[in-house]
């Protein structure tokens, strides 16, 4: 896919990443800010939703029967997910800058294109991490320590593609930590419903990120990095049925343990149909369709959140 120039810092040779949207609000920001916003993927909010939604599921699941989730916590988790997703992308791009320069879809990103230097990227990472810490410190002490523990999988994830075909598993461990944090922020402890929801989120991530990885499988094979898409190949479809089926079962067990009412089961059924459609119909050789299917998981996540909220309220 061709790239087109866009404004950059003085002296930088910045280009629009090949997978960037044609025009977003980032393009209307001051030129000096645009590379940093692109480094944080602020022009692509799908990652924010996928990081935030397990937090929201768990916050709603931990609410009292007949009640609604704490709006303040939902807002905090939105802000925290936005800044920590940006921090994660920044760390990932620092670690992968040489690999990204050799992959068509990513060579236009701010670091491999030269729009941002490594020192500036580290400074930006620290700023985002401090903002995330500010959000975390507003929660109870148990949740603060639980949140700090999440930093280990976050730090390890960018390097997993060099040593295993299953970096998607580590992404699932890191990206769904909010399923534990949301519950603990409400109740001050961990319960089995939260643990089941966490397991469900890991399976969900294994599915949607394997679909996403199929976009890069040719380039990944050339540059020598690993992914579940390369490992599975033609076995991807049955794998998706397995992990998505497991996700539905675990979410159902979590909802059953807290006694959610019938609207939850209706929503879970609709979510299951959506997931089975992904598994059955995705063309893994069509990069554009893989991206569309990947992004559709945000709608699925909001559907599950609504199902949990209404199921709890009606309980």
Distance CA 54, CA 178 (A): 5
**pLDDT score for 19:** 55
- Three-class SS string for 109-151? CHHHHCCCCHHHHHHHHHHHHHHHHHHHCCCCHHHHHHHHHCH
12 has a pLDDT exceeding 50: no
Q: Give pLDDT, residue 157.
A: 92
The per-residue pLDDT for 21 is 61
CATH class, 33-313 region: mainly alpha
pLDDT at 8 over 80: no
Domain chopping of the chain, boundaries? 33-313
pLDDT of residue 216: 86
Residue 37, pLDDT score: 94
- Is a pLDDT exceeding 70 seen at residue 17? no
CA dihedral sign of residues 256, 315, 271, 72: negative
pTM score of the predicted model: 0.90
Indicate the angle between helix axes 46-61 and 167-175, nearest 10 degrees: 50
The confidence band for 6, taking pLDDT boundaries of 50, 70 and 90, is very low
Predicted pLDDT at 231 = 94
Question: Tens digits of per-residue pLDDT, 88-128?
Answer: 999 999 998 988 888 877 888 999 999 999 999 999 999 99
């Amino acid at each position: 896919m061709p790239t087109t120039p866009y404004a950059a810092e003085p002296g930088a040779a910045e280009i629009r990443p090949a997978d960037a949207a044609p025009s977003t609000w980032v393009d209307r920001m001051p030129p000096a800010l645009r590379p940093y916003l692109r480094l944080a993927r602020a022009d692509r909010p799908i990652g924010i939703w996928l990081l935030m939604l397990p937090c929201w599921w768990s916050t709603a699941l931990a609410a009292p029967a007949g009640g609604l989730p704490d709006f303040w916590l939902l807002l905090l988790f939105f802000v925290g997910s936005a800044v920590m997703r940006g921090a994660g992308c920044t760390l990932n791009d620092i670690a992968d800058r040489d690999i990204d320069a050799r992959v068509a879809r990513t060579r236009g990103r701010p670091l491999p294109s030269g729009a941002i230097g490594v020192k500036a990227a580290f400074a930006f990472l620290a700023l985002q991490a401090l903002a995330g810490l500010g959000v975390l410190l507003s929660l109870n002490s148990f949740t603060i320590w639980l949140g700090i523990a999440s930093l280990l999988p976050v730090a390890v994830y960018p390097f997993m593609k060099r040593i295993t075909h299953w970096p998607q598993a580590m992404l699932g461990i890191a990206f769904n930590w909010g399923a534990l944090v949301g519950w603990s922020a409400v109740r001050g402890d961990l319960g089995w419903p939260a643990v089941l929801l966490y397991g469900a989120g890991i399976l969900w991530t294994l599915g949607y990120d394997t679909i996403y990885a199929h976009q890069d499988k040719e380039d990944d094979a050339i540059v020598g990095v690993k992914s579940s898409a390369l490992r599975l190949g033609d076995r991807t479809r049955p794998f998706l049925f397995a992990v998505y089926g497991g996700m539905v079962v675990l979410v159902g067990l979590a909802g059953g343990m807290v006694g959610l009412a019938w609207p939850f089961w209706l929503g879970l059924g609709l979510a299951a149909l959506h997931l089975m459609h992904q598994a059955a119909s995705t063309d893994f050789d069509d990069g554009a369709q893989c991206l569309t299917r990947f992004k559709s998981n945000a709608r699925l996540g909001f559907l599950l959140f609504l199902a949990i909220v209404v199921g709890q309220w009606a309980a």
